[in-house]
Amino acid sequence: MAEPHLIDPRTLYKANEYPKQEQDTPALEEKMIPKPDCGETSYKGSGKLLNRRVLITGGDSGIGRAAAIAYAREGADVAIQFFPGEEPDAEEVAELIKKAGRKVKLLPYDLREDEAATAIVSETVEAFGGLDTLVLNAAQQISRPTLSERPMKQVEDTFKVNIISMFATVQAAEAYLPVGGAIVLSTSIQANDPSEDLMDYAATKAAIANYTVSLSKYFAPKGIRVNAVAPGPIWTPLQLDGGQTQEVIQKFGLDTPLKRAGQPAELAPVYVFLASNDASYVTSQIYGVTGGGNINL
């Protein structure tokens, strides 16, 4: 009898210290050591999202990139919002989406700007003839050791990018989302276990968790599902342009029960599931992908 294909989750990816490294904003995947696995070579689709029309914020790198690659290989056309300056990463993803035989739309917008949410929605609808799936994933994360070193401008920008832009994007998209559509938000383990150096980021992630539940109640009567994913420590560019201290970077993820950081590719199947018809009876839920960290208070 053939043996089952099993993997040891502790050793599937890097399980020792990372080298010290930092980047100027915006950080890029191509400069990371090691470069994250976003499923570029590993993700195989099976038609779960055939002909979907998807908008992903923060889709150029990290978790958003992994979702974009997976969605395209599952049969979706994908629009990617990214922060201006991240074109090299965005163009790489665009090529992978095209190789999957799907349409792609690149949207270089700063989500701190008032008009950005309306623009990315309208350009997606124009490019694809509609919009049925939103993945709201873009985020700003900046570590500060003390309260006095945390400028209020940073706090304001973090709230604008991480949660206010979600309100604005959903509001702009509501008129287009059809019955059977889906919204997937990215929150974090920081919503439940906040770090003292990430106060503003953690507060926005708690707000997103709350928003997920209230938004799902609003959209359920319209036949639209709303869920969220709560990642733990995932190896993405978000960590390298001020998102973590160098001391944390070196030992990133080693304090989880699985003793390593996660890779973006390990979250992609959850984002696919929550958008797909397989999740037809799933709404108002938050799925943790944390390496064992608890997202339940």
Buried b / exposed e over 75-104, threshold 16 CB at 10 Å, is: bbbbbbbbbeebbebbebbbebbeebebeb
Distance CA 126, CA 30 (A): 31
Residues acting as catalytic residues:
201
Exposed / middle / buried, residue 146 (Cβ in 10 Å: 0-12, 13-18, 19+): exposed
Domain 29-39+47-285 has CATH 3.90.180.10: no
Residue with tokens 């979702």: 67
Distances 119 to 93, 114, 130, 174, 206 between C-alpha atoms, Å = 21, 10, 14, 14, 27
In the chain the beta strands, taken as DSSP E runs, fall at 53-57, 77-82, 104-108, 133-136, 182-186, 225-231, 286-289
3-state DSSP call for residue 102?
coil
In DSSP terms, 63 is beta-bridged to none
3-state DSSP call for residue 47?
coil
Q: What is the pLDDT of residue 297?
A: 56
Q: What is the pLDDT of residue 296?
A: 80
Whole-structure pTM value: 0.96
pLDDT tens digits for range 75-100: 999 999 999 999 999 999 999 999 99
A 10 A CB-CB count for 293 gives 20
Packing angle between helix 152-159 and helix 199-219, nearest 10 degrees?
20
In DSSP terms, 106 is beta-bridged to 80
pLDDT at 28 > cutoff 80: yes
Split at pLDDT 50, 70, 90, the class of 1 is: confident
| 31-40, 55-64, 71-80, 233-242: least confidently modelled range | 233-242
